[in-house]
Structure 1
Amino acid sequence: MSAPQLDPFAPARLGPVTLRNRVIKAATSEGRSPDGLVTDDLIAFHRAFAEGGVGMTTVAYCCVSPEGASAPGQILMNAAALPGLRRLTDSVHAAGAAISAQLGHAGVVAPKKLTGVTAVAPSRFVNPTSFAYSREITRAEIATVIDQFGDAAQVAVEAGFDAVELHFGHLYLPSSFLSPLINRRKDSYGGDIDNRSRLVREIAHRVRDVVGDRIAVIAKLDMDDGLPGSIWIAEALRTVQLLDADATLDAIELTQGSSVFKPMYLFRGDVPVKEFAGVMPPAMRPAVRLVGKWAMGSYPYEDLYMLPAARQFVPAVANTKLILLGGITNRDHLETGMREGFDFMAMGRALLREPNLVNAMSADASVRSRCTHNNKCMVTVFGRTHCVLDPEQRYGPLASQQLG
């Protein structure tokens, strides 16, 4: 008897939502909301992915509070943002795709120069990249953050989003609680991994209580962050088991790396030191050129590079679907993900290169992404995130033919 045909382009259920296929546009910083509100530019950015065939596109990074911002121009999930968010969701829906809002609190990554306040962390911490100090968050402030995630999720529901993605990765505030390197607390939020998982579980509970079954709830969670003494797979498996037993999440997107140190562990491939130096203040450029590659880390790119770690999480869940991320660039990769037990596959840089890639792969199984993994798109987050190989984003509905 032959094996069943795998079709990543067939409709699939995500909690209360049916996506038209199993491809999700991963959250990538956009830089298209200079005043923290939705712009026509942001709508066009996500509309392109919807028209290009993705099942769902993800709006990054929506702050649950002003002090939780990680960069200028990020959307704050409050009443002022609602009219623009509704225009955004309506536009994506009109193009046939679903849309998710990534909700986050930056914690140690939140720059004081931007937020006006000292960043918070589970314990006192000095960011090894920026040398910025973070103070220990209080129990009362933890309760406030949990409420802020719930309030932001309510805004997402009112704005017409189909899902929210809770940012539990990359050593942002929830993720930093999972890290024994940063979390040295002596209370019920510190100690063993069950205690260190308490905050992400409480946030997930609050968000589920708020949204009910009206929208899907996803979490983006580190399998490991590449830092010695920090998050590692064995403990991440336990966190996933706890979240799965809670049955508060519809899916978990598995990721790697941190925004604190060695960020190339997440991206892999070329290290754009020269380009990063070019956007830094003149006084910092020599130091960036000298130590930038060491600070950013250097890891070779491989197709499906997160799969060896991610496949270990498949048997750990019973209630929660899993989303595979990392080096997915063609239809074979999508089908491999399904064979390995993943329900959805998330793509980032490949879609920045070709927003129409999903339609192209669906029409022709031989299509391969034109992304070269030069990672210069990372530097564009200081302005408008885009693929440097086509800075004007002139893709159109027939991207593969136009770029051939």
Structure 2
Amino acid sequence: MDQIARTSPIIFERAKLGPLELRNRTIKAATFEGRAPRGVVTDELIEFHREVAAGGVGMTTVAYLASSPEGRTDRHQIHLRSDAVAGLRKLTDAVHAEGAAVAAQIGHAGPVANAASNRAPALAPSAQLSPLSMRITRKASAKDLRRIVADHARGARFAIDSGFDSVEVHLGHNYLASSFLSPAINKRTDSYGGSLENRARFAREILRAVRDEVGSEIAVTAKLNMDDGVRGGLWLDESLQVAKWIEDDAALDALELTCGSSLKNPLYLFRGDAPLDDFAATMPQPQRAGLHAVGRHFFKEYPYSPLYLLDSARQFRAELEMPLILLGGIGDYDSMSTAMDEGFEFVAMARALLREPNLVRRIEADHERRSLCIHCNRCMPTIYSGTRCVLVADPA
């Protein structure tokens, strides 16, 4: 397989994603950019994605575009609405000019939303204390859920109006749809709680509504947790069944596999160092002191290794026919080609492209080239001040 990985050119061939054709099989994964301080597109946000597009990816993903005002992680974030379209159109035009496609990640933050910043209660399947805001979330009513499903469909239409080629529906990281899937968070006794089929109902309704809205005009993908990394949370066997139902629903062109909980265990997805000092430096007192006291319980550290989600993702590849996007520990030609040899149709990268936006072009030119990312995770505390690799010198 090593010899195949070093000689297979498939990663840089053109590839179909639903109705869309990408110039290669690499995708910039959604990483919140922190470049919309007034909830609108800025030149900095446009340049962030233009640079990645110029660097050779097949498609870049704009994160995170909230479907509803209260679904933002905080108010300094774009939510999809008519007066956001003009700015988003400038962004998509800039990406297209570099030869890449561009996706809009859409979703609702649910219990991960900052209620104080949004000036609206954070919604969740059940009322409970949020470890992020230290406020009680509000149980989403059936009326709330119908509205939010419709908001996703409306958001997908705004994405089309804005020139996006694809939408990625966020079903991961214990955002709202993901929190419904999690038995640790979802304590409902109605048709949206209890059994796995009930817990999956909301996510499936969202995907169906989005697909019904967009038809074949653009590609539709979703990001789904394989597991939450939280005691009592969604685990792989249940997630695989959800993925099978999603495949049967025929609402997606591809599924991206992820893991972890922004609400309770954020570093489970990222692997590598847990930079507590950097996180603490972004906080006022007394939160800073509190983080130093209990931060290791929240920011748990997991060792990094290449292709660290592959073992779990293989189980999905073995059971599903739909195209799959492999995320996690991809930073060189060998890891990309291994993903192709394992049957994954696309690879997604995040931190490696923060470190080197032109990494894809570098790897295409030199198959021995490896990402310079050291997985220190010091990019994570920068997400509300402009997500970036702190090891890259500021040209200013």
| TM-score, with structure 1 as normaliser | 0.95
Asked if 1 retains the 8 angstrom alpha-carbon contact of 2:274 and 2:301, the reply is yes
Q: Distance in 2 between matches of 1:205 and 1:393?
A: 45
Q: Relative to 1, partners in 2 of residues 1:393 and 1:384: Cα closer, same or farther, differing over 3 Å?
A: farther
SS at match of 1:74: coil
1:131 is displaced (CA, Å) by: 2.5
Q: Secondary structure at the match of 2:206?
A: helix
For the pair 1:353 / 2:359, whether they are aligned, the reply is no
- Helix, strand or coil at the partner of 1:144: helix
By how many angstroms is 1:292 displaced?
1.1
Q: Which residue of 1 aligns with 2:279?
A: 276
1:133-152 → structure 2 map (5 Å cutoff): 133-152=136-155
Equivalent residue letter for 1:368: R
Percent identity, aligned pairs only, is 51
**1:71 CA drift (Å):** 2.7
The counterpart of 1:159, out of the listed 150, 159, 162, is 162
CA shift digits 1:354-389 (9 cap, x unpaired): 000000000100000000111000011120110001
In the TM superposition, what are the counterparts of 1:313-328 in structure 2 within 5 Å? 313-318=316-321, 320-328=322-330
Once the two structures are superposed, residues 34-82 of structure 1 have per-residue CA deviations (whole angstroms, 9 ceiling, x without a partner) of 1111111111100001000000000000011110010342111111011
Contact in 1 for aligned 2:225/2:257 (Cα 8 Å) = yes
Distance 1:226 1:324 in 2: 18
Which aligned pairs between 1:180-191 and structure 2 lie closer than 5 A? 180-191=183-194
Cα displacement (A) at 1:282: 2.4
Counterpart CA distance in 2 for 1:144 and 1:62 is 17
- 4+ residue segments displaced more than 4 Å: none
| Cα distance in 2, alignment partners of residues 186 and 150 from structure 1 | 26
- Partner in structure 1 of residue 390 of structure 2: 388
Q: Distance in 1 between matches of 2:290 and 2:187?
A: 31
- Backbone CA RMSD of aligned residues: 1.4
Counterpart in the other structure of 2:368: 366
Distance 2:323 2:203 in 1: 17
Q: What residue is the counterpart of 1:235 in the other structure?
A: 238
**Matching of residues 119-134 of structure 1 within 5 Å:** 119-134=122-137
In structure 2, give the amino acid aligned to 1:59.
Answer: V
On the 8 A contact 2:74/2:118 being kept in 1, the answer is no
Q: If the length of structure 2 is used for normalisation, what is the TM-score?
A: 0.97
1:220 paired to 2:205: no
Letter matched to residue 125 of structure 1: Q
- Tell me what 1:64 maps to: 67
Residues 75-154 of structure 1: pairs in structure 2 closer than 5 A: 75-154=78-157
2: CA distance, partners of 1:294 / 1:182: 18
Q: Which residue of 2 aligns with 1:338?
A: 340
Query: Which runs of 5 or more structure 1 residues have no equivalent in the other structure?
Result: 395-404
**Aligned match of 2:58:** 55
Work out whether residues 129 and 295 of structure 1, in 8 Å CA contact, stay in contact via their aligned partners in 2: no
Q: How far has the Cα of 1:192 moved from its partner?
A: 1.2
Amino acid across the alignment from 1:364 = D
Q: Is the 8 A contact 1:240 1:316 kept in 2?
A: no
CA contact (8 A) 2:115 2:133 kept: no
Q: How far apart, CA to CA, are the structure 2 residues paired with 1:389 and 1:292?
A: 23
Contact 1:386 1:393 in 2 (8 A): no
Cα distance in 2 for residues equivalent to 1:190 and 1:272: 36
Q: Which runs of 5+ in 2 are unaligned?
A: none
CA deviation vs aligned residue, 1:219-273 (integer Å, no higher than 9, x gap): 0000001101111000000100000001100011100101111211011111010
